[in-house]
Amino acid sequence: MISMNQDSATPTPPARSLPGRVFDFFSGFGLATTLLLLLGVLTWLATLEQVDRGLYDTLNKYFDWKAWYLFPEIDGRTFYFPLPGGYWVCALLLLNLALGGVGRARKGWKHAGVLISHFGILIMLVSGGVTQHFSERGHLAVGEGETSDTAEDYFEHVVEVAEIKGGKPTAIHEIRGEWLIDLQGDKRRLFRLPNFPFDLELTRYLPNAMPVAATERAPEANEPVVDGYFLMSRPGEKNAEANTAACYARLKNRDGSTPGPFILAGASFQPFTVRQDGRVFTVDLKKRLWPMPFKVRLEKFTAEFHPGTNRPKSFVSEITRIEDGKEARSIISMNAPMRYEGLTFFQASYGPPGATAGQKLYSVFEVVKNPGDQWPKYSLYIVSFGLGLHFLLKLIFFFSARSRYEHRA
């Protein structure tokens, strides 16, 4: 029902209900414009900040789902102007595009291209979320003639407890990084290990630390000294893969006794050994190992560089994939990864650094498990098709309108 304004006699639209106003806000063009501008600003600031902070930390600060808001920091100066986290800007944009760009948009043949393009952008945004929540990344290094079935996580440190039988670790129990990272300061957590004659208590987790001999350097922050060593915290490395986490640990035996504490460090060369009732166990903190569903044998690795430079021209790894006794050859190069069983192997680097001719080389692959691996590509195809269709329809409508006009004239 339309009411009339008594003074001007112009119709006044009925007041929108609260749900209607919420819908208008979330599907509005104004919100879309604001979010796109914010995304541009966040990307620009993150690009500037990663120079000092490092890529991994910057991505976490600007685009992780746990980052609701952030204060940008440029050239060591913090700007106390809060900006929303990129993840939530994208999430709102997804909602906005679904409600406004698809749900509220004009339908019909004339607008089919735009709708398809919006649908493609939705897929792009969803693939970003899938990558954030479900992807895993690690690296697998294998020497020429050698075989490997394990990638190592770039960032996640875990604590492994294993029983040693016949010189080999068995029943390797893994305490994932999500249970360690919040154990800062005096906060501690008890890990029950039903398959072992002891439980394990961990505390004072440091994301980047070194065991230092107390005879060489005195603890500066009352760090506990254990067997002559204490954990010295270090600032995060720019290249976050180089961080070595560490923590203090203590066993809790089934009989209630608690032997002295010990240090677990990602920078250690050997695990801590526990002997109980004739059984032998090891406790170690290391980067998470990620078993592959198949083995990779590196047959040959070749590296070519642009003449007179260290700029790589091409790295090529000829590998054999071994699965259930069957072998299959494959070639992995810089822009041609191997995709198999949901895993993607990218040619990442090689070693040893500064290798000379004739020296045995190893190849390093970045291994990525991402259910949304190919979705950005598909979304680009859809967006391109949608825009192509839109421009084509516009052209057709233009020519048909002109011919009608000429016919009438």
Shortest separation between residue 199's beta carbon and another protein, angstroms: 9
C-alpha 253/C-alpha 257 separation (Å) is: 5
User: Should residue 260 be labelled a site residue for another protein when binding is judged by CB under 8 A?
Assistant: no
Residue 144 DSSP label: B
User: Should residue 41 be labelled a site residue for another protein when binding is judged by CB under 8 A?
Assistant: no
Q: Given the rule CB under 8 A, which of 52-60, 226-234, 300-308, 330-338 is the region that contacts another protein?
A: 226-234
Among 43, 44, 52, 68, binds another protein (CB under 8 A): 68
User: Should residue 100 be labelled a site residue for another protein when binding is judged by CB under 8 A?
Assistant: no
Residues 111-150 that bind another protein (CB under 8 A): 147-150
User: Should residue 341 be labelled a site residue for another protein when binding is judged by CB under 8 A?
Assistant: no
Burial of 9 (0-12, 13-18, 19+ CB in 10 A): exposed
What mask of x and - would describe binding to another protein in positions 156 to 195, judged by CB under 8 A? -----x--x--xxxxxxxxxx--x--x-----xxxxxxxx
CA end-to-end distance (rounded Å), the chain: 43
Number of residues that bind another protein (CB under 8 A): 60
C-alpha 153/C-alpha 26 separation (Å) is: 39
User: Should residue 233 be labelled a site residue for another protein when binding is judged by CB under 8 A?
Assistant: no
CA atoms within 13 A on the CB side of 46: 21
User: Should residue 268 be labelled a site residue for another protein when binding is judged by CB under 8 A?
Assistant: yes
Q: Helix 29-53 and helix 86-96: axis angle, to 10°?
A: 160
Of 62 and 230, which has the nearer Cβ to another protein? Answer: 230
CA atoms within 13 A on the CB side of 197: 12
Shortest separation between residue 58's beta carbon and another protein, angstroms: 21
> Among residues 53, 89, 88, which one has the least CA distance to residue 72?
53
Among 11, 14, 228, 352, binds another protein (CB under 8 A): 228
User: Should residue 311 be labelled a site residue for another protein when binding is judged by CB under 8 A?
Assistant: no
C-alpha 349/C-alpha 354 separation (Å) is: 12
User: Should residue 267 be labelled a site residue for another protein when binding is judged by CB under 8 A?
Assistant: yes
Interacting residues of 104 by C-beta distance below 8 A, sequence separation 6+ = 27
User: Should residue 270 be labelled a site residue for another protein when binding is judged by CB under 8 A?
Assistant: yes
Of 19 and 76, which has the nearer Cβ to another protein? Answer: 19
Among 138, 271, 337, 372, binds another protein (CB under 8 A): 271
C-alpha 63/C-alpha 58 separation (Å) is: 8
Q: Given the rule CB under 8 A, which of 3-11, 22-30, 104-112, 131-139 is the region that contacts another protein?
A: 22-30
Torsion of CA 214, 216, 222, 225, to 10 degrees: -10
User: Should residue 152 be labelled a site residue for another protein when binding is judged by CB under 8 A?
Assistant: yes
C-alpha 143/C-alpha 94 separation (Å) is: 44
Of 8 and 270, which has the nearer Cβ to another protein? Answer: 270
Among 24, 73, 318, 323, binds another protein (CB under 8 A): 24
Of 123 and 202, which has the nearer Cβ to another protein? Answer: 202
Q: Do residues 189 and 173 make contact, with C-beta atoms less than 8 angstroms apart?
A: no
Of 23 and 119, which has the nearer Cβ to another protein? Answer: 23
C-alpha 314/C-alpha 337 separation (Å) is: 13
Torsion of CA 101, 104, 110, 114, to 10 degrees: 0
Shortest separation between residue 27's beta carbon and another protein, angstroms: 12
- Give me the residues that bind another protein (CB under 8 A), please: 18, 21-22, 24-26, 66, 68, 88, 147-150, 152, 161, 164, 167-176, 179, 182, 188-195, 211, 213, 215-216, 226-229, 263, 265, 267-273, 275, 280, 282, 284, 289, 291, 295
